[in-house]
Each structure stands twice: as structure tokens, then as C-alpha cells.
Amino acid sequence: MYRITPETPADTAEVEALYDLCFAPGRTALSSYRLRDGVAPIWPLCLTLRSDGHLLAAIRFWPVRVAGRRVLLLGPIAVHPTAQGEGLGGMLMRDSLERARGMGFGRVLLVGDAPYYSRFGFARLDEVEMPPPTNPDRVLGLELRPGAWVDVTGPVTRDDTAPSA
């Protein structure tokens, strides 16, 4: 049986170890990490998925700004290599997006593979610019409410109004 719960401070080391396992050692050098540095994640949306107490997947969300408007930056999302292909990432994605919608968020941004994320409704954002070096084809967005991305264009910036970590 799978259990999805918000990440707690007690989970942080284990979640970070999962991200290290799933991503290249230089993951923290990516442009998206510069947007997160010193900014607290949106804790109610940072979720873990466990089975029999074992961490199998995790997802985090961060506040950023585009054109002065608040945007959720999704990522990272990771599934333990022994559990990949079982649909756990999809479970976590759908659950977290429903929670975000319920909290009143309107738009989500991520950097990732369009073929994978399009199944959740993400599409390329041609007018939104992540800090370099980011491939523009990988900048994707999702509207949690209709029209949420209309006229939201330009560079993605840190949300300095968010509480610091």
C-alpha cells in the first residue's frame, strides 16, 4: 500500500539522498536551483510517497515570479530506481497538482521532457524564459485555472517575497 504525505523536516535527509541517487551529482548547479537558493519550498505541496515505510518517491514545489506574478516551480520529482515504471511519479504529480489547485494556485512551471509531462497537461511556454543555460523546449507550464498563463511572459525570477529557508 502506498502512502502520500507532506514532507516533514525528518524526511529531508532521506529525500535529498533520493534526489542524489536519481540525478547527476551536479544537480544543484542547474539554473532552477539558483531560483530556489535561500527560498523556502511550498511545504504543503512537498510530498513523499512511501510503501512499508520505505521512501519511493518525492516531489517539491517552490515559489518563483514571472512578470511579477507568483508561479509554482515544480521540481525536482524523483522515483527510486527500483520503483520506476510503476506509475508512482504520476500518482505524486496528480496528487500534488490537486493540492496546489485546492490551495488557490493558478499556474505551474517546470523544466522537463514535454512527452512525459504533456500527459499531465503541461505544454511548452514560448514566452517564459528560465535562467540560462536552459533549453527553451524544456520550459513547460500548466494552468490550474483557465487563463492563468495569459499575459504571464518574460524571465523567471526568484520570489524574494517568499520566506527564506
In this structure, which long-range contacts are made by residues 2-5, counting pairs with CB atoms below 8 Å and at least 24 apart in sequence? Answer: 2/49, 2/50, 2/51, 2/56, 2/88, 2/91, 3/49, 3/50, 3/51, 4/47, 4/48, 4/49, 4/91, 4/92, 4/95, 5/47, 5/48, 5/50
Domains of the chain, earliest start first: 2-158 (3.40.630.30)
pLDDT digits (tens, 9 = 90+) for 66-109: 999 999 999 999 999 999 999 999 999 999 999 999 999 999 99
Query: pLDDT at position 164, please?
Result: 45
Mean pLDDT, rounded, of the chain = 93
User: pTM for the complete prediction?
Assistant: 0.92
